[in-house]
Structure 1
Amino acid sequence: MDIRVALDEDWPRIYPFYSAIMAEGRTYAFPEGQSPEEARPWWMERPPGRTVVAVDGETVLGSAKMGPNRPGRGAHIGTASFLVDPAHRGRGVGRALGREMIEWSRGQGFRGIQFNAVVEVNAPAVHLWKSLGFEVVGTVPEAFDHPEEGLVGLHVMYRRL
């Protein structure tokens, strides 16, 4: 598996699993049913952020977007979002993308990384981020409408760099 900056021609290979993950409704509060053109700006970051892909040959296994959490006086803290194609889960793609994001964020001079909305019942994600040094610094109760669990909390997770 290689991780590289996403190119424009990668979007048609990212969009199918982006769309499928949004339709599942278990991890992101992004709009569902977006066309490729509507979804593109939600995922393909512009500088100072960036979007990367994890690839195995020509196959895109997953993607991550990263950059400053807030502009101006909040720009010293990074943030990121991750997608792993459901067909390729369990292969370490999320962990590899997470490590890449941490190293990139450190290289960009961020002081820390804040995830604004990790669904508290998304046990694999919470476990992964804790194993990579993140901690839950707060939980917004009932902030996410999960399709099976109903109203659940969103964790704010943080890792100092």
Structure 2
Amino acid sequence: MPEIIELPERPYVGVRRTITMTQFGLVGDRIGEIIGWLAERGQYPAGAPFFRYDEIDMAADRLVVQAGVPLATPVEGEGDIFADVLPAGRYVAVSHHGHPDQLIGVTDSMLKWAKDQGLTWDMTEKDGTEHWGCRLELYNTNPAEEPDMNNWDTDLQFRLKD
């Protein structure tokens, strides 16, 4: 069952790509690289790596997605690894245990729940593209420790409009 939570601003580093639904590896495969880049600088993740959806156009199969790693303190980016912050605010959150392929259904249920509650997302739509203020999938399971994706734990956090 979704819940509304208040989250502080959270620094992170990440990479951004424009992809299709079948190209998540282009960003997801960079998470290990980002963690290694941080370790070289004496920095370590302060939470689960995530995907942040900036733009979604399902009709055109076009997504602008970030792969990010949260930090306890900000660092400067380098090359295509950039530094940013996840905005503070109220988020609708839900946890999921199971294969990431099931997240489409979990997301649909969460969006319906929020609509039924009369909630408004931090999102604008223009020409069929959704532009999200902060829409996250946080991957709590380390694939090196649990390779069976059916046993993964994922949190969804979608920011509400102020």
Q: When the two structures are superposed, what TM-score results if normalisation uses the length of structure 2?
A: 0.29
The structure with the greater share of residues assigned to helix is 1
User: Which structure would you say has the larger RCO, counting Cα contacts within 8 Å and 6 or more residues apart?
Assistant: 2
